[in-house]
Structure 1
């Protein structure tokens, strides 16, 4: 079971980095559009891609990677809020409450159908994307340390099995 979780975490770390690369690209392409009052259809598509990539990375981080880390660290399976608080205690975010704001914005993106709120959403995504991207190397380092620890533990257990 642990070896399956370790492999899944390895896979999700790759997905996390790829999603962060895509979000960074979208932010760079959209940065000058954020504060405009109106957009062409092409510009709107770039901004919508930015919000979609932001939501995808936030989901991948909170719903998959942090859950896997909690499972490997034998943390209880409880609420998303508890998972977020543990991530902040691990030092994965610079400022307390950042991940909660990211999660709330992700939920707003997923359920927002009113176009008059989109300019505020685009600005919020642009404002929170740097914090989300800054957390990825920390999460990756934490995940890599877990992978190393469990891989080392497994190989140590295997060598004991051969000796006995």
Structure 2
């Protein structure tokens, strides 16, 4: 099956963006979590602009990669696979069945964490530390899902002669 040119161009763009976002998230994750992020680290945020920027970069890159994969690449890939797309949870269920993500429930949990980190200024340092550690723990899961979607997309595009 030949993939229409505009669809292929969009998918190739999403593959490039996703790969770049994976690299950037992993780099920031490595810098922020070189050691276990502690409440003492969180106490330094106001006084340490480098730490503040790393924290902001981590939260932003985590959210951006999840948005790119979940809201853009995954629906486009499902369309390429001739799967009917629908509500986000339906797309996640299909992605789980296809082995693209580990679990729709885990993805929803990551999404809730993403929303907490992005939309709430967390003043309780214990809650902030816990949220950041949870985000850090999800990085390998998120990156692996992104890379599975990229690999499947590339394989399908190559098979279609694009």
Cα deviation, 1:81-138, whole Å, max 9, x if unaligned, reads 1111111111123456322222222222332133324323211111111111122321
For residues 71-150 of structure 1, the aligned pairs below 5 Å read: 71-95=79-103, 97-116=105-124, 117-150=127-160
> Comparing both chains, which one has the higher relative contact order based on Cα–Cα distances under 8 Å and sequence gaps of 6 or more?
2
Cα deviation, 1:131-163, whole Å, max 9, x if unaligned, reads 1112232111111122123336xxxxxxxxxxx
User: Higher helix fraction: Structure 1 or Structure 2?
Assistant: 1
Q: Is the Cα–Cα contact under 8 Å of residues 34 and 126 in structure 1 kept in the other structure? A: no
CA RMSD of aligned residues (A): 2.0
Q: Is the Cα–Cα contact under 8 Å of residues 33 and 43 in structure 1 kept in the other structure? A: no
Q: Matched residues in 1 for 2:106 and 2:59: separation?
A: 17
Structure 2 alignment gaps of length 5 or more: none
Cα deviation, 1:32-55, whole Å, max 9, x if unaligned, reads 262243223321221221111000
State the TM-score, normalizing by the size of structure 1.
0.82
Which of 65, 77, 96 aligns to 1:69? It is: 77
Structure 1 alignment gaps of length 5 or more: 153-164
Number of corresponding residues: 152
Q: Matched residues in 1 for 2:85 and 2:19: separation?
A: 25
